[in-house]
């Protein structure tokens, strides 16, 4: 079930792996302009820093380890995963934690780098101060100035695998279109993120996402204005 979205597809749209014998299996895949995240043990975009307990909680409620579900995963949790037994959720989580890392290009999270005023990024193409100003004006109220978010309400950006992953499709799309978390029986109330398509330019979106990917211990490649413009054009936003 998970592989249909989280495993990359080949030229014939076939899944490039069907079990743990393939390194591509559950390593992340692009579907309908959402990137289904890497479910292997990579320390940046994968599950290396997420416990089996937090992973089971995420599948049941849409929240775990400071991470919140978004995009197509919202429907999957609402219509399917939340109804599994706790034993089954635990079994899935324990299995996923056995999958080794892919070793592919990835972002990094190092809490030792999380010092006020210090950013570490891979060759930024925009001045960090510009992204910081956009973040302070449009993002900090929910995600907080330290990037830690609000537990069970607004996701953390510091160390978030979806924030520092190599594929930035979902990250850009969330700013352009907005989104919402799942409504589940056992989870917190649904929270919504507004669209910034009419409030921020492509340049500003690239600046703030580059800032986020370089702050609080995050270290991931910058996002360019062209990255944002290309996806916005695809989404017709």
- Comparing CA positions, the residue from 132, 129, 2, 104 lying closest to residue 45 is 104
β-strand pairing of 179-180 with 192-193: antiparallel
8 is a domain residue:
yes
Q: Which domain holds residue 200?
A: 108-235
pLDDT higher than 80, residue 163 = yes
* Domain shared by 120 and 58, yes or no: no
Q: Are residues 92 and 113 in the same domain?
A: no
Same-domain check for residues 137 and 66: no
Give the residue-averaged pLDDT of 187-193: 95
Looking at the structure, tell me whether residues 220 and 122 fall in a common domain.
yes
Q: What is the pLDDT of residue 117?
A: 55
* Residue 79 Cα distances to 72, 82, 110, 153, angstroms: 11, 7, 35, 20
The residue among 119 and 171 whose pLDDT is bigger is 171
Of 45-59, 61-75, 112-126, the least confident: 112-126
Domain boundary among the residues 30, 64, 96 is at: 96
Q: Per-residue pLDDT averaged across 35-63, rounded?
A: 97
Q: Which residue from 24, 20, 23 is spatially nearest to 9, judged by alpha carbons?
A: 24
| Domain at 189, CATH number | 1.10.760.10
**Residues 142, 89 share a domain:** no
What share of the chain has pLDDT > 70, as a percent? 94
Residues 194 and 160: their CA atoms lie apart, in Å, by 19
Domain annotation covers residue 25: yes
- Structural domain tally of the chain? 2
Among 52-61, 113-122, 171-180, the minimum mean pLDDT is found in 113-122
Report the C-alpha gap between 130 and 132 in whole angstroms. Answer: 5
Least-confidence region, from 126-135, 166-175, 180-189, 202-211: 126-135
Q: What is the pLDDT of residue 114?
A: 73
Q: How do residues 56-69 score in pLDDT, each as one tens digit? A: 999 999 999 999 99
Express as a percent the part of the chain with pLDDT over 90.
87
């Amino acid at each position: 079930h998970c592989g249909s979205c989280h495993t990359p597809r080949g030229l014939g749209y076939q899944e490039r792996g069907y079990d743990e014998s393939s390194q591509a299996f559950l390593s992340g895949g692009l579907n309908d302009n959402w990137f289904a995240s890497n479910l292997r043990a990579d320390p940046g975009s994968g599950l290396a820093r997420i416990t089996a307990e937090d992973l089971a909680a995420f599948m049941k409620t849409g929240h775990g380890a400071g991470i919140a579900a978004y995009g197509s995963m919202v429907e999957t949790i609402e219509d399917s995963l939340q109804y599994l037994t706790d034993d089954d959720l635990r079994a899935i989580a324990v299995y996923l934690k056995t999958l080794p890392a892919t070793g592919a290009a990835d972002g990094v999270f190092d809490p030792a780098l999380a010092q006020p005023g210090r950013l570490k990024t891979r060759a930024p193409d925009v001045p960090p101060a510009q992204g910081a100003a956009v973040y302070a004006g449009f993002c900090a109220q929910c995600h907080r100035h330290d990037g830690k978010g609000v537990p069970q309400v607004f996701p953390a950006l510091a160390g978030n695998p979806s924030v520092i992953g190599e594929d930035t499709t979902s990250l850009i799309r969330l700013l352009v279109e907005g989104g919402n978390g799942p409504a589940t029986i056992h989870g917190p109330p649904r929270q919504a993120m507004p669209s910034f398509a009419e409030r921020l330019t492509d340049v500003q979106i690239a600046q703030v996402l580059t800032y986020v990917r370089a702050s609080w211990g995050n270290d991931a490649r910058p996002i360019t204005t062209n990255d944002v413009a290309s996806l916005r054009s695809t989404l017709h936003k």
